Amino acid sequence: MKSRALYCNGNLRMVIVHNNLLATLQISATMDTLPAWPKGKKLVHLDLKGAPPRIDYLHKLIGIFSSLGADGLLVEYEDMFPYEGELKVLQSTQHPPYSREEVLSIQEVAKSQGLEVIPLVQTFGHMEFVLKHKSLWGLREVGHCLGTLNPHREEGVRLVEEMLRQVVELHPGSTSLHIGADEVYLLGEGEESRRWLSTPGRTVQQLFLSHVTRVAKGVREAWPNLNMIMWDDMLRGMDHDTLKGSGLVGLVQLMLWDYNPTLDVKNTVYLLERYSGAGLSELWAASSFKGSTNVHTCVTSTQRHVDNHLQWLQVAAALPEGIHMLGIALTGWQRYDHLSVLCELLPLALPSLASSLQTLTHGQFSPEAQSRVTKSLGISSVEVETMESSTTSDSVLFPGRRLAELVVELTAILQSEELCHFEDNMFVRGWFTPYHRQRKSVSPLIAQQLQSQAMRLLAFVEQRVAMVKKEMVRLYPASTAQEWVEQHVSPVVAPLQRVLEDTRASLLEMVPQNVSASMGGQ
């Protein structure tokens, strides 16, 4: 029997593992149950700029989201949207984008499950998928930042307007649109912006607001009944008068995001009060169920994301009556940005999503909430890392479960001491340093032993990788499976492969050919 104690956020958790069964005993400090999340939408964010699910799998997931308690979808297509005409260049070339028929089918399935669909189109920052194209380089705020649009170029504004038109028109049933506008890095540092800012009294805040209000007013003029949502972070440093005179009052709904498990409740309440006091009274929250732990995380921690939602419940409970929360978006980032590696795949995060939704519903992650999660998904633990292995290839309750199990197993192997620190073992550090390798001055006996160990480990990893890829291509494009392996497996095994190559080269130098040939086949 193995046991270990974990301490997190005031909770002592004794984890006991025996015969592959796991029991979790949680001893929590006394904590009053918070009110359930106030009335309003609970949106599940679909980040499709990486690992876009195959359409049939996505349809299954939408049904699961509904059964778990979601009210809507916040869909961020990026290059998976079937842009047409001059914007066709924005379509993904790594894998085919969703077709127009598939985009409509997402909405039809969502509607049948009682879910609203809100498309998200970035209009200022995080436009890497647009500005990476050579034909559009001239629309960057600064040449070395792919994410930020130059707000002074008319062709840039027209590009954004056309992107919005195509997306809105392919979402005829949507009543809301998210226009992004978060993390507008290096704004004000472009040559045209510097000239604009040289006029006394002008600020970067005004520059940001001038572009966003222009975009928002254009949307209001084109679609008067369409609600607009935008991220709040670029407004956090603005004072009351700037916010009140921003031009955004009555035009947009702010979505305040914070994914931290130790979210600052007092400061978040203060921000919401400040926005509301300036007239920006229609507000959303944004939490996280995956994709916010580390840029290269592969296995989702349910506890971390439950803690984030418990903090948001404290925020909601502390808000004055006059502040109107329209809902909360549970974000599930697939990449930190268009050019970063893949975060956790959706199957790895379903227990976290279910747990987060149930936490909002119950006001705490109570035994009742945990039971609802395990029964809904047919799992033994709310942590994907400690679920019992299923006996079938997949599950109706938990589509993608087999892939989740295989990724957990492979990740554990990749993080094992033997693999991660292979180059630190006594034989490598003692007899197979770079000095020895460069001079081919090695002990053949040691080299043979290292070669045997490296081949064994690599063969084991390759077997597991093949199983993961086989399961992954059922749910995702083959290009996603290849990308995931190259990003999350290849960097870990590369040192092992180098040791293997160097042992072979050294043995050729130090041992007669007939003997080294027999060694290489071991």
Beta 116-120 vs 72-76: how paired, if at all? parallel
Structural tokens at position 344: 């956790």
Widest pairwise Cα distance in the chain: 85
| 15 occurs within a structural domain | no
Structural tokens at position 73: 């979808």
362-387: per-residue pLDDT in tens? 999 999 999 999 999 999 999 999 98
Provide the pLDDT confidence category of residue 394 given band limits of 50, 70 and 90. low
- Identify the pLDDT of residue 391: 55
Distance between CA 215 and CA 470 in Å, rounded?
44
Secondary structure E strands in 235-281: 253-257
- Identify the pLDDT of residue 356: 98
Same domain, 224 and 156: yes
200-252: per-residue pLDDT in tens? 999 999 999 999 999 999 999 999 999 999 999 999 999 999 999 999 999 99
Is the confidence at residue 299, as pLDDT, over 50? yes
Three-class secondary structure assignment of 437-463 = HHHCCCCHHHHHHHHHHHHHHHHHHHH
- H-helix or E-strand containing 16? strand 11-18
Same domain, 425 and 481: yes
Sole residue written with tokens 């079938």: 392
Which amino acid is residue 326, in one-letter code? L
Provide the pLDDT confidence category of residue 392 given band limits of 50, 70 and 90. low
Average pLDDT, the chain: 90
- Identify the pLDDT of residue 520: 52
| 17 occurs within a structural domain | no
In sequence order, what DSSP letters do the residues of 471-510 get, joined into one string? HHHHHS-HHHHHHHHHHHTHHHHHHHHHHHHHHHHHHHHH
More confident residue, 478 or 26: 478
Same domain, 443 and 360: no
| 301 occurs within a structural domain | yes
Least confident among 26-40, 154-168, 457-471, 475-489: 26-40
- Identify the pLDDT of residue 447: 86
Listed in sequence order, the residues at least 6 apart from 495 whose beta carbon sits closer than 8 Å to its beta carbon are 422, 423
CB 457: neighbour CB atoms within 10 A?
19
| 411 occurs within a structural domain | no
Same domain, 181 and 130: yes
Which amino acid is residue 257, in one-letter code? W
Structural tokens at position 114: 């009682």
| 403 occurs within a structural domain | no
Question: Is 128 labeled as catalytic in the residue annotation?
Answer: no
Same domain, 250 and 325: yes
Same domain, 82 and 149: yes
pLDDT exceeding 70 applies to what percent of the chain? 91
Same domain, 60 and 208: yes
119-136: per-residue pLDDT in tens? 999 999 999 999 999 999
- Identify the pLDDT of residue 239: 96
Sole residue written with tokens 């349910």: 302
| 144 occurs within a structural domain | yes
- Identify the pLDDT of residue 15: 36
Residue range of the domain that includes 353? 41-381
Same domain, 272 and 156: yes
| 406 occurs within a structural domain | no
Mean pLDDT of the region 393-407: 88
Give, in degrees to the nearest 5, the angle at Cα 392 between 386 and 398. 60
Same domain, 97 and 196: yes
Distance between CA 174 and CA 118 in Å, rounded?
6
Q: How many domains does the chain have?
A: 2
- Identify the pLDDT of residue 322: 86
| 20 occurs within a structural domain | no
- Identify the pLDDT of residue 27: 24
Structural tokens at position 118: 């809100």
Same domain, 187 and 120: yes
Q: At what angle do helices 55-68 and 100-112 cross, to 10 degrees?
A: 20
- In this structure, are residues 170 and 103 in contact, taking their beta carbons and an 8 Å threshold? yes
Provide the pLDDT confidence category of residue 171 given band limits of 50, 70 and 90. very high
Q: Choosing from 102, 183, 273, 423, which is the catalytic residue? A: 183
419-474: per-residue pLDDT in tens? 888 888 888 888 888 898 888 888 888 888 888 898 999 999 999 999 999 999 99
56-80: per-residue pLDDT in tens? 999 999 999 999 999 999 999 999 9
- Identify the pLDDT of residue 22: 35
Same domain, 169 and 276: yes
Task: For the chain, state the CA radius of gyration.
Answer: 26
- The CATH number of the domain holding residue 344 is 3.20.20.80
Same domain, 376 and 441: no
Kindly report the pTM of this predicted structure: 0.90
